[in-house]
Amino acid sequence: MEAVYLARQAGFRTVLVDRDPLAPARALADEFCHIDILSEEDRAAALLKEVDLILPVTENYGTLLRLEKIAARCDVPLALDIHSYAISSSKIKSNNLFSLAGIAMPEQWPECGFPVIVKPSGLSGSAGVVKVKDQAHLDAVSDGMGTEAVIQKYLCGPSYSLEVLGHRGQCAGLQVTELNFDAAYDCKRVLAGPDTGKTVAEAFYDLGERIAEALHLSGIMDIEVIDHNGELKVLEIDARLPSQTPTAVYHSTGANIVELLADYWIHGRLPSQRRFSGKQRAVIYEHLRFHNKVLEVSGEHVLAGAQGLKVHQDKFSADVLISNFEKSPDDWVATAIFVEETEALVWEVRNRAIKIIQQAFKAEKVLDPEPFD
């Protein structure tokens, strides 16, 4: 959804290709093609040879390899560094890279002690993440995950994200954003603004450059860290177009990551500035679900399978609302974006909007859960 939204904001014509005929972003694209890349390679190639850039937003490694083959066959740039992605898509490989480069990360089990976080090596975001408090719980969780699990110390502190665009290790860092999570540790809200992450920005930019150099990155990478007692520790990296944070960055700084990727992959141009640290507006970007008379701030998983999404401007005090509330007023989801000059002001507007939405849909309860509630 973010890829299509930002491409349209950049003035590009978008063609969405998906094997799911009901892909949520379908309603936002200029054109939709129901194609399974793996089983319909010739059909996909006939379509993709007509485009200027292929922007993959899937984590299916087999599909990415097939796209690489089709892109070479059609002589169309593919916005993916497959080598960096292969490392970033495995937390085991990523952690080995951090260890060799001397980059701080949460302590590993068993040296760290309890509580710990257990997460599958090959999944990103919140998928499969479990907080474990003792050995019995760890044994039960580990049996279900197999050998490809990463076990690290559970750390407290604010979480931040940074997008880095690189060329053979040289890179430009975009804007530091703060991440808020729901009860299942899925990102429910992104914060961006002039004071957001200000205390960690310089250290985070330096960290981004070190990781990009270690990866020899060419393309895009997202880095997630936790500020634990004043030290940034890397939780994960993803060498692909991330979700959520780029849209917050766009509304705060005007820097459109899809436009920057097009400049890089089509024209070979990196951003002229090494760090995007100019004027910033305050942004709150969050996901909502209304169900059974309950309005809940939820992780992005609630958007899966959503139908009838539409972009609304200045609705319910939100600058942008991407939602299907018109199609299904009793059970809907939304991505809401609020933009103001300061963090304090944007929170005032956001809180007022939640009350307006609650009244408009007669919600009996509003929930905003925290991790592991």
pLDDT tens for 93-118 read 999 999 999 999 999 988 998 999 99
User: Is 359 among the domain residues?
Assistant: yes
CA 295 to chain centroid:
23
Domain check: are 146 and 160 in the same one?
A: no
Q: What's the CA gap between 124 and 91, in Å, rounded?
A: 9
Domain check: are 287 and 262 in the same one?
A: no
Element (H, E) at 352: helix 343-360
Q: What's the CA gap between 339 and 282, in Å, rounded?
A: 6
Domain check: are 258 and 288 in the same one?
A: no
Domain check: are 136 and 171 in the same one?
A: no
Domain check: are 145 and 226 in the same one?
A: no
305: left (phi over 0), alpha (psi -120 to 50) or beta: left
Q: What's the CA gap between 333 and 24, in Å, rounded?
A: 11
CA 281 to chain centroid:
20
Domain check: are 174 and 215 in the same one?
A: yes
Confidence of residue 128 (pLDDT cuts 50, 70, 90): confident
- In degrees rounded to 5, what are phi and psi of residue 99? -65, -45
Q: What's the CA gap between 211 and 218, in Å, rounded?
A: 12
DSSP secondary structure letter of residue 259? H
Average pLDDT, the chain: 93
pLDDT at 277: 63
Domain check: are 296 and 348 in the same one?
A: yes
Domain check: are 250 and 290 in the same one?
A: no
Domain check: are 211 and 247 in the same one?
A: yes
CATH of the domain at 126: 3.30.1490.20
Q: What's the CA gap between 286 and 82, in Å, rounded?
A: 30
Confidence of residue 126 (pLDDT cuts 50, 70, 90): low
pTM of the model: 0.94
User: Is 327 among the domain residues?
Assistant: yes
3-state secondary structure of 316: coil
Domain check: are 172 and 187 in the same one?
A: yes
Q: What's the CA gap between 122 and 91, in Å, rounded?
A: 6
Instruction: Write the burial class of residue 124 (CB in 10 Å: 0-12 exposed, 13-18 middle, 19+ buried).
Output: buried
Q: Domain residues for 114? A: 107-153
pLDDT at 317: 96
Q: What's the CA gap between 289 and 361, in Å, rounded?
A: 12
Region 184-205: mean pLDDT is: 95
Domain check: are 294 and 244 in the same one?
A: no
Element (H, E) at 129: none
Domain check: are 167 and 234 in the same one?
A: yes
Confidence of residue 138 (pLDDT cuts 50, 70, 90): confident
Q: β-pairing, 282-291 with 231-238?
A: unpaired
User: Is 274 among the domain residues?
Assistant: no
Region 259-265: mean pLDDT is: 96
Q: What's the CA gap between 340 and 290, in Å, rounded?
A: 25
Q: How many domains does the chain have?
A: 4
